[in-house]
Amino acid sequence: MINQSLKNLSQLLASKAVSSVEMTQTFLDRIRQYNPDINAYITVDEEKSLAQAKAADANIAAGTATTLTGIPFAQKDIFCAKDWKTTCGSKMLENFIAPYDAHVITQFNNVGAVNLGKTNMDEFAMGSSNETSYFGGVKNPWDLTRVPGGSSGGSAAAVAARLCAAATGTDTGGSIRQPASLCGFTGLKPTYGLVSRYGMIAFASSLDQAGPMAKSAEDCALMMNVMAGFDARDSTSLNHLKEDYTAQLNQPLAGLKVGLPKEYFADGLDGDVAKVIETAIAEYKKLGAEFVDISLPNASLSIPVYYVLAPAEASSNLSRYDGVRYGHRAEEYDDLMEMYMKSRAEGFGEEVKRRILIGTYVLSAGYYDAYYLKAQKIRHLIAEDFKAAFKQCDIIMGPTVPSTAFKTGEKTGDPIAMYLQDIYTIATNLAGLPGMSVPAGFSHDLPVGLQIIGNYFDEARMLNVAHAYQQVTDWHTAMPKGIA
Ligand code: GLN
């Protein structure tokens, strides 16, 4: 059961071969067995999950079920879920019980899906290895001495180790796609504004976007049908016509024009990863896709631009954690100022503090023009590069990450090396474009992801491109050794 697609799980439930309570219990048992080693979940609440499963079974019996009714999903601990502890991976929110549901949680609840628990993540989604989590690092199920990627590392490990049917994540600079590449599954960051950010704890609001993390493109499509849609409570939610993301899955790829950005195959790309991507390209040629060379001349600036803009937005977003209204409050202080300072000094980890300092600096009156304003201008140029590229092609392909999963601790002392994990993913966030990562093979027994970037709102086509590949390859069905 644990290896089944969402469609098959749905059929098992509809035919009453398995109940949602049984299915949920199967995953809860696996979490009990594997989570002590992997640390994918921060919070599990068997009673709550089983109550939802029971309600789903009643729905199924009454004939009111839809495709995802009764299927157990893991939710990244960045989404507020009513009456669930919602920590965002931080000591600051260690004891925070959300009083309301994020839009994404509401959407899953509305179709009667089961919440299996809240997954581990880098603190406030800042990181590429899940090592900044206050609740400890997450192990990569493919090799427990390595990181799963981040910031959605808990969801990633949960999908890879089959500790859920599928999971949600968020991607500000690569946090769905990079872990998808490092853990060998399919992840999609949608067009900015397609999935509401309401109730999703803010990191960098102009970049944050929620998306599905699942075994296959088809599973991602089914989840997108639930997650996407206009929500007036998020002022950046786009009123895009509701789509069925499964509708185009089986379109032939003949004539598809794929652009290969030369900047994504330059120095810094691991040779083995490059070979995997070349093999995937050959497979796509057999499927009828045509390849053209393109250039994204400003792509190399995406990391410096991101590390001005994202910290700037984070410094503003995180100013709300002052110990007054909610979150951690220092126990001893003499006056209000000291209470603020101590609460924040105790509640935030090192990486979060680093970002707040950078963000405050680049927004300060003396440096605003030199850093923040300049970064905004280059952000525009990066978006223009993509606009020009999409005149030459329908889809862009390349590696998701320059290398495979690295060892725990390997990059913690070198923030710049850590930031470079997202060198191929960040530009799409800056441009607001959708991107996904699809398992494309292995290097030394570690998964490698192929990145697929589409034009605005072209998710259905991207899913089609990924699905066609998954019909002729089986990388996406591979499971880590030692996980049964
Ligand atoms: N790794 C990037 C960072 O640390 C992106 C994180 C994300 O997408 N949430 O900011």
Alpha-carbon span 128 to 408, nearest angstrom: 11
Distance between Cα 333 and ligand 1 center (Å): 33
Q: Is 151 a catalytic site residue?
A: yes
Bond before 90 cis per omega within 30 degrees: no
Starting at the edge strand that comes first in sequence, how are the strands of the sheet with 290-294 ordered?
41-43, 114-119, 72-76, 166-170, 210-214, 186-189, 435-443, 446-454, 395-399, 257-261, 290-294
If you average pLDDT over residues 70-82, what whole number do you get?
98
Alpha-carbon span 285 to 19, nearest angstrom: 43
Whether 171 is in the pocket of ligand 1, judged by its Cβ within 6 Å, is yes
* Choice from 79, 124, 175, 420 to test ligand 1 binding pocket (greatest atom count within 8 A of CB): 175
Tens digits of residue pLDDT in 142-152: 999 999 999 99
State how far Cα 108 lies from the chain centre: 16
Distance between Cα 162 and ligand 1 center (Å): 24
Share of the chain above pLDDT 90, in %: 99
Alpha-carbon span 203 to 104, nearest angstrom: 16
Distance between Cα 178 and ligand 1 center (Å): 9
Q: Which of 10, 19, 76, 181 is catalytic?
A: 76
- Neighbouring C-alpha atoms within 13 Å toward the C-beta of 222: 23
Whether 343 is in the pocket of ligand 1, judged by its Cβ within 6 Å, is no
The per-residue DSSP string of 288-342 comes to T-EEEEE--TTGGGHHHHHHHHHHHHHHHHGGG-SSSSSS---S--SSHHHHHHH
Helix (H) or strand (E) holding 187: strand 186-189
Ligand 1 atom with minimal separation from the 176 CA: 8
* Choice from 124, 172, 355 to test ligand 1 binding pocket (greatest atom count within 8 A of CB): 172
Alpha-carbon span 103 to 86, nearest angstrom: 14
Ligand 1 atom with minimal separation from the 355 CA: 10
Alpha-carbon span 362 to 313, nearest angstrom: 10
Whether 128 is in the pocket of ligand 1, judged by its Cβ within 6 Å, is yes
Stated length of the chain: 484
Contact in structure between 141 and 183 (CB atoms under 8 Å): yes
Q: Which of 128, 129, 151, 315 is catalytic?
A: 151
Whether 175 is in the pocket of ligand 1, judged by its Cβ within 6 Å, is yes
Distance between Cα 126 and ligand 1 center (Å): 5
Distance between Cα 353 and ligand 1 center (Å): 15
Q: Name every residue whose Cβ is closer than 8 Å to that of residue 138 and which is 6 or more positions away in sequence.
A: 38, 39, 40, 120, 130, 147, 148, 153, 154, 156, 157
Distance between Cα 283 and ligand 1 center (Å): 31
> Looking at the predicted structure, is the pLDDT value of residue 14 above 90?
yes
Alpha-carbon span 68 to 49, nearest angstrom: 15
Q: Is 175 a catalytic site residue?
A: yes
Alpha-carbon span 429 to 206, nearest angstrom: 9
If you average pLDDT over residues 323-346, what whole number do you get?
97
User: What was the pLDDT predicted at 482?
Assistant: 84
> Looking at the predicted structure, is the pLDDT value of residue 317 above 90?
yes
Whether 126 is in the pocket of ligand 1, judged by its Cβ within 6 Å, is yes
Whether 310 is in the pocket of ligand 1, judged by its Cβ within 6 Å, is yes
If you average pLDDT over residues 335-343, what whole number do you get?
98
pLDDT band at 101 (very low <50, low <70, confident <90, very high): very high
Nearest CA to ligand 1 atom 4: 127
Q: Which of 19, 20, 49, 175 is catalytic?
A: 175
Nearest CA to ligand 1 atom 10: 126
Alpha-carbon span 41 to 36, nearest angstrom: 9
Ligand 1 atom with minimal separation from the 207 CA: 8
Whether 351 is in the pocket of ligand 1, judged by its Cβ within 6 Å, is no
Ligand 1 atom with minimal separation from the 171 CA: 8
Ligand 1 atom with minimal separation from the 174 CA: 8
Phi, psi angles (nearest 5°) of residue 79: -95, 125
Q: Which of 30, 31, 13 is nearest to 21 (CA)?
A: 13
Tens digits of residue pLDDT in 360-405: 999 999 999 999 999 999 999 999 999 999 999 999 999 999 999 9
User: What was the pLDDT predicted at 484?
Assistant: 81
If you average pLDDT over residues 153-173, what whole number do you get?
98
Tens digits of residue pLDDT in 25-57: 999 999 999 999 999 999 999 999 999 999 999
Q: Name every residue whose Cβ is closer than 8 Å to that of residue 214 and which is 6 or more positions away in sequence.
A: 6, 159, 166, 167, 185, 186, 187, 220, 223
Whether 75 is in the pocket of ligand 1, judged by its Cβ within 6 Å, is no
Whether 309 is in the pocket of ligand 1, judged by its Cβ within 6 Å, is no
Contact in structure between 432 and 383 (CB atoms under 8 Å): yes
* Choice from 76, 119, 147, 151 to test ligand 1 binding pocket (greatest atom count within 8 A of CB): 151
Tens digits of residue pLDDT in 416-475: 999 999 999 999 999 999 999 999 999 999 999 999 999 999 999 999 999 999 999 999
User: What was the pLDDT predicted at 372?
Assistant: 97
If you average pLDDT over residues 168-189, what whole number do you get?
98
Alpha-carbon span 217 to 174, nearest angstrom: 18
User: What was the pLDDT predicted at 483?
Assistant: 87
Distance between Cα 146 and ligand 1 center (Å): 18
* Average confidence score pLDDT of the chain: 97
Q: Count Cβ atoms within 10 A of the Cβ of residue 137 and give its class: 0-12 exposed, 13-18 middle, 19 or more buried.
A: buried
> Looking at the predicted structure, is the pLDDT value of residue 114 above 90?
yes
pLDDT band at 117 (very low <50, low <70, confident <90, very high): very high
